[in-house]
Amino acid sequence: NPGHQLSGDTGVAQLVEQRSPKPQAAGSSPAARANETDVDNLPSKDSNMLAKTKQFLTDVSKEMQKVSWPTREQLRESTIVVIVTSLIITGVTFIIDQAMTQVMKFIF
């Protein structure tokens, strides 16, 4: 393979050891080179993604079974609370806006 270096044929730039500025922190470069056999044993990208997707969907299904869904009555009560609260906040905001408008008209 042209351009492919054998394990004993290391370029000069690769001989320079990279150290982290923090000795307690591990660097981003691996401690040892990967062997060609290690790369050959990795699962393919497509099968790995399919397995991850399947696991994700399984986890979602399990979590959805744990959800405590409200009853129709609880949902109705919560909706009424949200609507009433929204109307109250709208009314208070309208009153404050009208008061501020009158104050501004008086000042200017």
Q: Identify the pLDDT of residue 46.
A: 75
State the average pLDDT over residues 5-23.
Answer: 56
39 neighbors 13 (Cβ within 8 angstroms): no
Helix (H, G, I), strand (E, B) or coil at 17: coil
State the average pLDDT over residues 34-43.
Answer: 56
Asked whether the predicted pLDDT for residue 30 surpasses 60, the reply is no
The tally of CA atoms less than 13 A away on the side-chain side of residue 92 is 6
CA 92 – CA 83 distance, rounded (Å): 14
State the average pLDDT over residues 26-51.
Answer: 65
11 neighbors 5 (Cβ within 8 angstroms): yes
**Short-list 2, 35, 29, CA closest to 16:** 29
